[in-house]
Amino acid sequence: MSDGWPAGGNPDHSILRKASLKVAVRISAACAVMVLGLLAATALYLTNQLAHPEVPGSAAAGTAYTYLDSKDVLEAMIIAGVAGILLAGIVGWLSARSAIRPLSDALARERRFVQDASHELRTPLTILDTRIQLAQRNTVPGSRQSHDLARIREDAATLTGIVNELLLAATAEAPDRSAPPADLADAAASVAGSLQQVAEQRQVRLEFSAAARPLARIEKNALRRAVLALADNALAHTPPGGRVSITTSIEQKRAVITVADSGTGITGVDQARIFDRFVRTAGTGTSQGQRSFGIGLALVREIAVAAGGTVEVAATGGEGTVMKLTLPLMGSGNP
């Protein structure tokens, strides 16, 4: 890497520049406080000396004395202090650039890795989608095999969307705001269908209902990922014989997706903290006494906040937990 800042195409350029500037300002401020303190102490000393002057006697013949005006001394000190503060700022700026440069290299390598990995994954995903379509042509329309292939293709499309989002994030490009509003009922129904077999294997009844079909300004794939994470978390903490329900509705002119389970509820941790990464509840350390929430719920919060919405624990207790994802309402229809 060159001795200067990264190329203008680096999306981290402005962030790192601001960080180094902030460090330089703090160094300059600290030096300014120190210089002002020294100036104040010196000024007090000079004032005290002027109040009690000591004039040498005439007996000191042949000795040369120099008399300085206190005003001239103070002016010289102020000029020297200002020069010292400016010099400290320059040194701080250069030092901050040098210290942050390794961080710039690390961020650039991270972005290149994500870009390369995302780009390389797009081709095999495209091939996979093509092969699924070819397999669908050899199945009877409406058959169980055709239905399963359609679900597999939908999951592959979700994975492709995630790869595209990673590539978009790595290039620091603004998300596409022109995308049409997403239908929350469609997303919830798709998630319920995808997780149906998982629920059956865990002996949990998974249900979906639409009290309304609200629309929200959110990317369709991001919405599906959020609902999938909520439903998967609910299934993971629901014992066999339990139930998980996904519902869409409109509440106070907001689009809402509710995911409820019949698990044991959340205890031993602040409810707001379960949206932190890898938070764990207090317990005995066994699977029955401790719940782990991984990063799924943290990603749900990030998706919701990016879309102008929220996610919260609406209720929790011995009868289960209710998670509520709320998004700005764009429109609605009948269920």
Compute the distance between CA of residue 220 and CA of residue 180 in angstroms, rounded to an integer.
Answer: 9
Lowest model confidence (mean pLDDT) among 165-169, 175-179, 314-318, 331-335: 331-335
Nearest to 139 by CA among 122, 153, 121: 153
* Residues 91, 92, 93, 98, Cα dihedral to 10°: 90
Are the C-beta atoms of 212 and 256 separated by less than 8 Å? Answer: no
Is the pLDDT reported for residue 189 higher than 80?
A: yes
pLDDT per position as a tens digit, 112-125: 887 777 778 877 88
Is the pLDDT reported for residue 126 higher than 70?
A: yes
Q: What are phi and psi of 30, to 5 degrees?
A: -65, -45
Nearest to 87 by CA among 129, 34, 161: 34
pLDDT per position as a tens digit, 277-326: 766 665 544 444 455 566 778 888 988 998 899 999 999 888 899 999 99
20-34 mean pLDDT: 79
Lowest model confidence (mean pLDDT) among 63-67, 78-82, 98-102, 123-127: 63-67
Say if domain 182-331 classifies as CATH 3.40.50.150: no
Compute the distance between CA of residue 178 and CA of residue 183 in angstroms, rounded to an integer.
Answer: 15
Nearest to 122 by CA among 148, 154, 170, 157: 157
Ranges of beta strands (E only) in 160-267 are: 182-183, 205-210, 215-216, 243-251, 254-261
Higher confidence at residue 39 or residue 304? 304
Nearest to 31 by CA among 100, 125, 95: 95
Are the C-beta atoms of 243 and 207 separated by less than 8 Å? Answer: yes
227-255 mean pLDDT: 92
Is the pLDDT reported for residue 6 higher than 50?
A: no
**Residue 30, both tokens:** 């600290």
> Which residues belong to CATH 3.30.565.10 in the chain?
182-331
